Structure 1
Amino acid sequence: MKLILASTSLYRKTLLAKLCIPFSTSAPEVDETPIIDESPGHLVARLSLAKAQNVAAHQLGVVIGSDQIACVEGVILGKPGHFERAYEQLAFLSGKTVTFYTGLTVCDALSGKSETIVETFDVTFKSLSTKQITRYLELETPYDCAGSFKSEGLGICLFSRLNGRDPNTLVGLPLIALMELLTKFNIDVFDYMQTTNE
């Protein structure tokens, strides 16, 4: 099995590495512009499929594509890029529940078969003070993360509740769903797991 992650995201690469299976990465070339009136679920499903198919068109193997957005009160949250925008986002999120939509596609380049699912995960924020937001941003600088936080780091201090079946979904690659999709391609990850000393 040649497994290819259609992403150069360090976060997704780190997540997939948790399964201890060999894989390579490849950057997909996909226009990620939303279609007018496109729902969050449709958007991430479409883009995860497009990313997987783009890489599968150039490389043989089983390709994993993923795309994620965060949405609250109908507003899609992007990556803030800098402190001021991150502060605005977290102040807006204070006391609210954010839904993360993650599209996940597995595509076999040889047969052209693909399977796509959408996982959701809800994050409810505490009521945050100016001091708490400022201190968090100073310590973690999550400016490349949608929603301005890293759930796998200090971001956990911002939350009052998490609701979803796989916390990896928050970081961008739902591993439980991935293993389920791989079984549809007759791939059992346990057959490919390697310890670090192998």
Structure 2
Amino acid sequence: MTDIKENQDTVLVAEYTLGLMEPKEAKDFAERLTHDDGLRAEYIRWTEYFAKLSNEIEAVEPPESLKADIQKRLFGEPEPERTPGRWFNIRWAGGLALALILAIVVLIDSPAPFTPTYTAQLTSADNNLAVTALYDEQLQSLKMTSFTGTPEAGRDFELWVIIGDQPPVSLGVMSSLKKGAITIAPALAKSLNGATLALSDEPLGGSPTGSPTGTVLVTATIQAI
């Protein structure tokens, strides 16, 4: 029976991470995350998994002929010049309408820009280790915009958030985090202002216990920009 519940929770965490839950269901599940260490660890695992999937997608440059092909399909072959008149006005108005439609489609499909509302600067006393973290409250997304320092062989740096007197919550290992943004659970996001970010030295792949096991190398307070 325990295995069935764990499998159900795994599916629920994946749905929550991808934003597939209904608002009330997501709110109730976020509340569970604040009290269930195992569930939070599962959430972090799924977050890192989906982040790695996007890192594997390589950018593709469109061929130079693409623009000409699109124009040909939209308007046909170029026509010989003719005296401006009613046809020109109709063609011009049609092209303008099409341009407006395309502009609206682009605006609808474009992802929201990353606009940081909170920041934290983690810097060691000798300046050999430094991390700048930016958080977008609207997107509930955390980015590492700069990173210096290298863990020892067979070790990893792991990032944690500490809210008040609550236990540290892992945000993932730096080898994954510095490649892109991660989504913060709503239950954590609403309390980030004034919380503490910490970077610890952990075994390769991160802490095996869900809590810091190595030396905490540097900490910083998350502050509003």
Do they fold alike, i.e. is TM over 0.5?
no
More RCO (CA 8 Å, sep 6+): 1
Structure 1 length normalisation: TM-score?
Answer: 0.22
| Length-normalised TM-score, structure 2 | 0.20
Which structure has the larger Rg over C-alpha atoms? Answer: 2
